[in-house]
Structures are given as structure tokens and as C-alpha cells.
Amino acid sequence: MNTFGKLIMGSAIATLAMASTALADTTLNALFMSQAAYSEDDIKSMTAKFEAANPGVTVDLEFVPYEALHDKIVAAAGAGDDGYDVVLFDVIWPAEFATRGFLTDVSDRIPADYTDQVFDGAWTTVEYGGKRYGMPWILDTKYLFYNAEMLEEAGISEPPKTWGELVAQAKQIKDKGIVEYPLVWSWSQSEAMICDFTTLTAANNGAFFEEGQPAFTVGGAKDAVTFMKASLDDGLTNPSSREYFEEDVRRVFSNGEAAFALNWTYMNALANDPAESKVAGKVKVAPAPGVAGKTAASSVNGSMGLGIPANSPHADEAWAYISFLTQKDIQEDYAKLSLPIWKASYDSPKVAEGQEDLIAAAKQSIAVMYPRPLVPSYTEVSDILQKNIHQVLLDQVGVEEGLQAAADRVKRIR
């Protein structure tokens, strides 16, 4: 039985009835991002398998940078039948998209037995108001990557378990002249920076909001920004981090110019690929550290889901495609750049082979994934935080001044 046949037989027939009926000759328009997680080649390969299993259905793929994904989905919402049939969306957007009626409620299409088989953190990617607006597909968080050879040269036997230990190890590596800037981050004025801020906030038991009011001017969130600024002032963080996105981080780390980097799952395979990296074979991965006395590890929920825009004229075929891409067997076949949403996959030898330390880190990190605010106004909140935190990192304002300015702006839109 082929993979698609297994999907149909292994799922609730009622909810996947659209997949078992004859699918008319249809062309689906699908929107994906062009960086991180599954590669374009991976998605093209999965799609070719779907098309082979479903004669008459073809999928036109469009890849855009993550930074353009949100606005493409919003713009297409007014395009009638000419919009998209399947879209990839970030964990931070369901509240906005559901409120504005952009995505189709697919709660009744999802087999009930999937709920316990998929990680809770993955489900939050597609849920809002008690409904599900898609299937989770990319289960991701940021991990701590380290150059084991640099640590050994500095006399360090174990990677840091706390952010305090990371600073101490970075100083040790810098003092020995092993690398000028031991740390590299994606701290451009972008969502990538907010993901790192969220990770550090979670480590410090901080919060974005408390009782509906901004809480990032004090406590763990303030500690997070203070940590970020101090690592720049101490010469431990590469100052170009303030211009970097995730791919820049991967290139700098893979070029042997940093001992530590925080990045998504996809970096593990590429940093250990000799064709892509000068430090292949020296790269290890661990959970993002915690804070002594507060947390054992830290993690941001960077997952993404696949949904059907409300204006798609091909909802049944679109759901068949989504069901195919998100099924366990397919995800396990492509588990190098993105890990599956299915709990059982993490005990699969096929998934673990050659990336045992990543799987070990994932088991710990997924359990503590911290969400960014799941509110309809998230995009505006994030833009405000990005601008003000970035000004702090550029030394244009102090930590307290920057965070208070952000809080004042956020209060006016909520």
C-alpha cells in the first residue's frame, strides 16, 4: 500500500472523505517560505509524490521569504478564486487570520485520534478560540549550536546549561584568542530577534503580558534585553548580529567565526554538511540554556502550520494535500531540516539516525516551548518591540527607556 493509501486507511474515514473520493482535475496554488525548515527541494519532492498518488491534481508552488509570507496571505484574501488554496502560516498569526476570516475552520476534518498523537506545542500553531485552522507541519524551536572543537581547545568539557555559564564559556574562548566574537545571533530588526528575546524571556520566567497589560518592562523580559545588550558591550556577541537573519547566523557559524549560535532545526544538517560548512563534524546541539534557580532550559515556539484560505474554491483537494504533507510517514522521510509533529517519531531509529543529539535536545526543548502572544494584534505588537529593542541594541536608548517606550505604544493599540 502506498503512503497515501495508508493515510486514508489509517485515519477517520469521515474526516478524510475528501481524499477517498475522486478528486477532479484541479490545480492547487500553494504558498510556502523559501528559508529554514523544509527546503524547496524537499517540498517539491513531497508534492511530486502527492501528485503521483492523486492523478488529476497538480500543485503550483510559490516560495517567498518568511518576511513576505504574512503580507502575501493577507493580500490574497481579497483575490477571490485567484488566491491560494494552501498556505503556510506562522504560530503567531492564527489569532489575526481567524478573527479576520482569512482561514477555514478545519476542526471537523482532523481525526480525533490525532490530538494525543501530536505534541501540544504543535497544536497551538493552528488553534484559536477553541477551533483549528489547519494542521501543524513544522514543529520548531531554537537550539544552542556549539563548536565542540573550540570548546575543547578552551578546556571546556561540557556545553553550558545556563545562560550564565554560556557567558563564562564565551569569555574563556575569547580570552584564549580562539575566536574574536564567540556568540552570533539573528538580531536584525525582525521577528527573528523577537524569537531570541522570547527564548531569553522564557529562561528568566518573564512574560509579555500580565492581566492584559504589557509586562515586558520588568522582570524576566527586562533581564532578557539586559543580557542581550551586555553581551554586545562585553564584546562577546558579534556586533553584526544586529543586522543578521538566521541564514547569516548559519553562514558565520559554519565559517568557523563563532563558538555558539542560536538557530532553528534546519541548521543542524547544514552546519554538519561539508559542502555547506567549514566546521562540519565539529557541530553539536543542545537545548537553549536556562537560568540558575529559575529554569533548566528555554525554548520559543517557532512552529508553523498549513491551512486553507477561506476563499479557496478547492477546499477538499487542498485538505487532501495538507493531509499528505503532514502525515507521519512523509514527515519521517524528510526529518533532517525539520522534525515531525508526531510524538512517536522521536523514538523512531530512522528519524534519530545521524542526529541523535538533536533528537535528545528536541525532547527537552519541545516540552518547554514558550509562546509569543497569541493575540490578533500580534504583528503590531511585534513591530513595536522590534523597533524599540533594536534601538537598545544599537545603543540609541537604554534598556528601561526602550522597553517603556514599547509598552506605551502597545497600550495604545490594545
pLDDT, residue 79, reads 82
In order along its 414 residues, the chain shows pLDDT tens digits of 333 333 333 333 333 444 444 556 899 999 999 877 899 999 999 999 999 999 999 999 999 999 899 999 999 998 888 899 999 999 999 999 999 999 999 999 999 999 999 999 999 999 999 999 999 999 999 999 999 999 999 999 999 999 999 999 999 999 999 999 999 999 999 999 999 999 999 999 999 999 989 999 999 999 999 999 999 999 999 999 999 999 999 999 999 999 999 999 999 999 999 999 999 999 999 999 999 999 999 999 999 999 999 999 999 999 999 999 999 999 999 999 999 999 999 999 999 999 999 999 999 999 999 999 888 899 999 999 999 999 999 999 999 999 999 999 999 986
Burial (Cβ within 10 Å: 0-12, 13-18, ≥19) of residue 41: exposed
pLDDT, residue 414, reads 67
Angle at 165 between CA 161 and CA 171, to 5 degrees: 140
Contact (CB, 8 A) for 406 and 399: no
Other beta carbons less than 10 A from residue 107's beta carbon: 13
Task: Report the run of H or E that residue 138 belongs to, with start and end.
Answer: strand 135-138
This prediction has a pTM of 0.90
pLDDT, residue 23, reads 57
Angle at 65 between CA 403 and CA 131, to 5 degrees: 75
pLDDT, residue 18, reads 44
With cell 493509501, the residue in question is 5
Contact (CB, 8 A) for 311 and 83: yes
Which is nearest to 85 in space by CA: 318, 306, 304? Answer: 318
pLDDT, residue 291, reads 98
Q: Classify strands 283-289 and 143-147 as parallel, antiparallel or unpaired.
A: antiparallel
pLDDT, residue 81, reads 83
pLDDT, residue 22, reads 53
pLDDT, residue 35, reads 75
Report the largest interatomic distance among the alpha carbons of the chain, rounded to a whole angstrom.
67
Read off the pLDDT of residues 392-414 as tens digits, 9 standing for 90 and up: 999 999 999 999 999 999 999 86
pLDDT, residue 30, reads 98
